Amino acid sequence: MAKEESFTKLPVINFSRFLNGSAKERQEVADEIGDACRRVGFFYLSDHGISQDLQDRVFAESKKFFALPLEEKLKLKKAGPICFPGYIPLCTERISRLGDYKEVFNCVHELPADDEYYQMQGADLYKGNVWPDNLPTFRRTIYDEYLTAMIDLADKVMESYALTLQLPADWFKPITRKPIAVARLAYYPSFSCELSQDQLSCGAHTDDNGVTLLMQQEGVCGLQVKNGQGEWIDAVPIHGTIVVNIGDLVERWSNGHFKATEHRVLMQPGVERYSAIVFHTPDYHATIECCVKDEIPKYPAIIAGDFIKNRGEAHSKPLDQWTDNEQNLISAEEYSLKLRADVNQKH
């Protein structure tokens, strides 16, 4: 775990100079991002290139989807971990022990049927999208436009990570050519009385992936980030910005310099909330190991897809098999290392 800081707010970083600036300007912005990654693990990104029109249309489609009758949404429910495509009903995802008080729709970045990754272990993270029949612009907006644009943005954020870690800007590119990318629409319904700590709107956790990009509904708080003193800091929505946070894989890549910070969603009674997230992860078979020069690795090397799949499966298990975030992390690392040892033994 990277060094924890007692921050009281999330930094705001203007990304336009990284997207359009000189090499010097790109490095300056990358170092701002690096500072945020080391101290906080979260930051707001402004001037990121995702149009306000697209953001507004994503939320409009999300509201249409979650307003559908339950029987229509259940037609899109699929078995499998929470990272799989389809609809996840209220209180089904168990990041909180008793199930998170939210509904979710996921879709994944699909690969062509003749792609080698489509046939290999982990292929279920690259296919299987399902779509509502009676929302004609839903797929185009959420998949063709939103997910595609956010994958491009995540690639740029990864370039900034590389630069601030004193690596070539394209260092991550060879292992993010076929990223596991999940677009998630989340709806947090209102409730009449406060939820218990065993059933939050979304339980406390760190993200398992590389880059998380979050669009928040304006005017509605809910996301909270835990600082080094154990205080929960509100990530208040800021118009037009995207919230970026570090996942477990990037913390491991950075050898603990970057911080995968614990966060949760805590809603107040009588308030509903919508959010749209993209989880961007390296190629399934990418090896995640220390990329910092001249340092002894703090973490054993793991395979990206094995790790996140196991993490996701843990949040889909019944109540008697529930584990908290710390134990989930340990179990996922052990699972990934065992698979890797089995493969090495066969060869």
pLDDT in tens, 40-76: 999 999 999 999 999 999 999 999 999 999 999 999 9
pTM as predicted: 0.91
Residue 330 inside a domain? The answer is yes
- Predicted confidence at residue 329, as pLDDT, reads 63
Residue 5 inside a domain? The answer is no
H/E segment holding residue 331 = helix 325-346
pLDDT tens digits for range 163-184: 999 999 999 999 999 999 999 9
Range of the domain at 242: 12-344
Number of domains composing the chain:
1
Residue 1 inside a domain? The answer is no
* 172, 282 Cβ separation under 8 angstroms: yes
Work out the mean pLDDT of the chain and round it to a whole number.
88
Residues 6+ apart with CB under 8 A from 316: 80, 81, 82, 92, 93, 94
pLDDT tens digits for range 269-289: 899 999 999 999 999 989 999
Place of tokens 């799949």: 309
Confidence of residue 347 (pLDDT cuts 50, 70, 90): very low
Q: Computed over its alpha carbons, how large is the radius of gyration of the chain?
A: 19
Confidence of residue 2 (pLDDT cuts 50, 70, 90): very low
pLDDT tens digits for range 180-197: 999 999 999 998 877 767
Residue 304 inside a domain? The answer is yes
* 224, 200 Cβ separation under 8 angstroms: no
Instruction: Dump the DSSP string for 107-173.
Output: EE----TTSHHHHSTTGGGS------TT-TTHHIIIIIIIIHHHHHHHHHHHHHHHHHTTS-TTTTG
CATH number at residue 331: 2.60.120.330
Bin 80: left if φ > 0, else alpha if -120 < ψ < 50, else beta: left
Confidence of residue 341 (pLDDT cuts 50, 70, 90): low
Place of tokens 């939103």: 146
- DSSP code of 68? S
* 105, 138 Cβ separation under 8 angstroms: no
Residue 7 inside a domain? The answer is no
Residue 106 inside a domain? The answer is yes
Residue 258 inside a domain? The answer is yes
* Encoded tokens for 105: 């729709």
* Encoded tokens for 66: 């979650």
- Predicted confidence at residue 344, as pLDDT, reads 58
Residue 215 inside a domain? The answer is yes
